[in-house]
Chain A
């Protein structure tokens, strides 16, 4: 038997490394082998351990801890896996994977990301072989055109068009760049692809480099992704050793060298011209377009930039044909899209679905709905460039146009679900805090406008909002949208505009009634003890740092609101749920 432990970053954070050590120890002396895989995407069930017989999956164990190693080893030794059935994934949770259609993630969590043989055994590099043994660069671009593949980084620009522009651009030396600077806080699919299936990225990039005529390629990875960098470097080394990367690839005259460049942390570097500046070692400040990177990119040479997920789809398209890809999806959005489903969701993780499913299907059918039996309030798509979509629009289909029509965007794939306890004004403030810090400072509208918006939103959440604030915010939004050079600035107002559009009543409650309907804004909430529920255990009054709670043993306690500093410690310690926020 073969025991495979899911060791992506989040699996490791959940304790997969400790499980691995414990299993190695417990299985010593048996003929079972231990291996690793990347991330299967079921973050809510990490650490995940799969038991295989050859290629057949016998059992998938979830939420495994190091303490379970003994039981697993015993079951493996006795050849009786029913003994560990208590760890097996439930029918209900299995739905999470069954309802997905995986292309970009097709090998994630199934192969060993640190072994090129594991990738080759699964048909890896067949697409590259097919391309180099008979397709012209134009054929490749045509196939991608047929597929309808569009940029998965967020903008959704047709991939073939960019490739074609870079191919036709004058110049001997051309560059191919992969944008793996996944900066949207709440999105992690690019990291998962690199950590779990790095060769899929390399293969996709090689095919693209062949199509545009580039012999040098870079992957610009966030420095916060150390494991992704390690695994990608290992994959590059192995591919080079096997003649799949470097000079005369597969014996042809196609040559391509691939280098990793670790980013240094700046959200704006997700914008392609800022990324190029950063690659050149400068401050990542966007350039004026045109000229587009296809004409003058890295070192002023023709360059093409695509996102990780875009490249991860390429080898599948070449192998299965563009038509198979375009058969999935909607009129104007083809294929699949990966989302990082997080927030107040029951089953959070990586989800790849065909375009055209509704938000409701993703959140409820795959994600299992809202945690702790609370009410769904909104879903945030596209991070700081995106917007919040309310309950009424849950049946919106996942499609570039349909999502843009709501005021949000498809984005790179962050999908953060919020419940009734999330304040939408504070949510807008959170994103503006982010964009204010991440604005590169080049354009006045973005640099100062986001700061002013952040200040107004802060005032509102602190109970100091005044009449006219909503209008002021709207005016600032329009100014920034039209006055900023790059995508970061132009889209920075989206979180504010969508929350004003769909949750105007929350803004008004903060401004006029000095109330936070969600009970999240500390300055506006009041802690009270429900005398019916309070058992008089005195725990809260002992915990209160300012002595604001009074009451005798076994009698209902009272909070003196004039003393209360709203720290919430009483609510946290109360075992009877008697402390309420109003």
Chain B
């Protein structure tokens, strides 16, 4: 009996270690981007405030740059607005298009509370949550209109977005002005580049061409800037291009972001579910 007790005493740490490791491994194996994002959104109730303050300090030093960018943007928008005003005088129909109620998309702004770039799965935490009307599936872009990610989890006051720099991120992109589209994904390496894969050989991408969202998936409105073509290589069979895209959004220095809600998203998803159900039956 005493020998048995002694034996147990000599190995119980190892046994405990193995048990705990199995538990942790099991938990890790079952984790997805969604469980991770939910966890982040929850813990931000605790740390979000402090993280926000730290980010505010960081933001303070980039205020000059931000301001310049905003004034540039205002100038640009003013120009566009004046063009619309002219058109308004010309035709009454334009007012209907510019009318807010007609738009399929609703926008709001948010600031970054935390973001990573150094992992295969990166997330961006924002200081707006369910109480501010943030919903799963909203697009996240820079104020200049370059895409950054989309929301996958929200708590009351915070939301977590799947960053474009997350290897699970998928979007559909195309060369501006063409109808050929490819799959956008990140390879986990350089935070300034993503890949556009399976682009038809007829698309003939040229370095410098703008890559925009195709509007084929419900998260991103059509024609939002993703980046510019850096280089394009044909695959071994010569059927499709692999395009290296320089991201328009600088994910290493983001502070303010714009959230875009597709008002029809819920309806679209409902419809897709119905189709799936019908085909399964």
Do these two chains interact? no
